[in-house]
Structure 1
């Protein structure tokens, strides 16, 4: 089985995440994608109002109804910062005979050199790189070559997925909601209802 790993803060999860994930399922011939909300990523800080429980529930609601999408609380169970190498090692124990693919944005690809124990990660997963909106002009002439160099240096396979470029971000959604603007069609209806019922991002 070919299993995709889609990690993120998902604060909140939005239609861009879902559209890209659905596209990757077919483009990379994956059998399923596991969404993994992060506890506390080393490169980000979350406000106290963005509780892990709320973010987990929003992802669960968003992917309900799609049999090829799953959610895992593997990182939320930790009481410390989430390092990807720990996550992929735990997932490999669950899927010892399956091929694991780690989905990242093109912006994140350029940060891989800063990841903790990158060699340990590369022993377990293959990276799928998705172009990120807003980064195209900066990297359009260098991304393909950079990925080719990365593959040669590390002796691994790495693939670029040309998914739809969706101009939606969690920051945009939080800002719009805080300012009283509509977020309809930016997030699933059940996620929008959850945000309203819990008074998130106000």
Structure 2
């Protein structure tokens, strides 16, 4: 089986996340894309994100649109959510012959040198790096990288949160996710 970890804060998950995952699944013949909701992302101040359970529930709703998509609780644990730990845990659950990829945006990949156990992370997994067409980024020595150029990267979770806070609807959200946000009074 060919599967990819697609980690994110998903605050909230939006259509660009889903489009990128579908493009990666199509281009790299992925059987599954695991949407890993970051419980305690190290790059965000503690308490600055919407509670994990709300973010993960939105991921569950969004993943229902494609049978290749699966919500994952790999990072539902105490402490910071480091990719090294997530990848190691995912690898421990693989069957013989399974192939694991790590789906990541080019902006985040460009910062990988600052990650916890960065050198180990680069050796552990193959990366599918998503960028806008023509965008260039450094590739660390020894990294196994597959490029995926996508036009779906024009949507920003922070911009969606801002519009929702202002009482404006967002066409960039899956309908079920928008309904969940309204029902739970999120981003107001």
Shared fold, TM over 0.5: yes
Runs of 5+ unmatched residues, structure 1: none
Within a 5 Å distance, the mapping from 1:14-93 to structure 2 comes to 14-45=14-45, 47=47, 50-76=50-76, 78-93=77-92
Select between 89-98 and 7-16 the one with higher mean Cα deviation.
89-98
**Aligned counterparts of 1:29 and 1:115: Cα–Cα separation in 2:** 28
Question: Are 1:3 and 1:32, in contact at CA under 8 Å, matched by a contact in 2?
Answer: yes
1:169 equivalent in structure 2: 156
Question: Are 1:7 and 1:35, in contact at CA under 8 Å, matched by a contact in 2?
Answer: yes
**Aligned counterparts of 1:47 and 1:89: Cα–Cα separation in 2:** 26
**Aligned counterparts of 2:31 and 2:130: Cα–Cα separation in 1:** 18
**Aligned counterparts of 2:85 and 2:66: Cα–Cα separation in 1:** 27
TM-score, structure 1 normalization? 0.86
Taking only aligned residues, the RMSD between alpha carbons, in angstroms, comes to 1.7
Change (3 A) 1:46 1:13: farther
2:175 equivalent in structure 1: 189
Q: CA offset at residue 120 of structure 1?
A: 2.1
Runs of 5+ unmatched residues, structure 2: none
Q: State the SS of the aligned residue for 1:166.
A: helix
Question: Are 2:131 and 2:153, in contact at CA under 8 Å, matched by a contact in 1?
Answer: no
Q: CA offset at residue 176 of structure 1?
A: 0.2
**Aligned counterparts of 2:45 and 2:177: Cα–Cα separation in 1:** 22
2:124 equivalent in structure 1: 124
Number of matched pairs:
187
Q: CA offset at residue 87 of structure 1?
A: 0.5
Change (3 A) 1:46 1:201: farther
**Aligned counterparts of 1:24 and 1:129: Cα–Cα separation in 2:** 9
Q: CA offset at residue 132 of structure 1?
A: 4.8
TM-score, structure 2 normalization? 0.93
